[in-house]
Amino acid sequence: MATLENTADEGVSAEGGGVRRRDFINIAAVSFAGVGGVVAVLPLVNQMNPSADVLAMASSEVDLSGIKPGQAIKTTFRSQPLFVRHLTPEEIAKADATDAATLRDPQTLADRVVDGKTQWLVTMGVCTHLGCVPLGAGEGENKGEFGGYFCPCHGSHYDTAGRIRKGPAPKNLEVPPYTFTSDTAILVG
Contacts to other proteins by CB under 8 A: 45, 48-51, 54, 74, 76, 78-81, 104, 125, 128-135, 138, 141-142, 151-155, 166-170
> Which residues contact residue 123 at a Cβ distance below 8 angstroms, ignoring those fewer than 6 apart?
82, 83, 85, 112, 162, 172, 173, 174, 175, 176
| Smallest gap from residue 143 Cβ to other proteins (A) | 13
In angstroms, how far is CA 154 from the centroid of its own chain? 18
> With 0-12 CB in 10 A as exposed, 13-18 as middle and 19+ as buried, what is 186?
buried
| Smallest gap from residue 153 Cβ to other proteins (A) | 6
| Smallest gap from residue 53 Cβ to other proteins (A) | 9
Nearer CB in complex with other proteins: 16/170: 170
Nearer CB in complex with other proteins: 4/48: 48
The count of C-alpha atoms lying within 13 angstroms of the C-alpha of 63, restricted to the half-sphere facing its C-beta, is 2
The reply to whether 154 belongs to the active site is yes
| Smallest gap from residue 170 Cβ to other proteins (A) | 4
Is residue 51 within 8 A of residue 84, CB to CB? The reply is: no
DSSP 119: T
Nearer CB in complex with other proteins: 11/155: 155
Nearer CB in complex with other proteins: 63/174: 174
Active site residues: 154
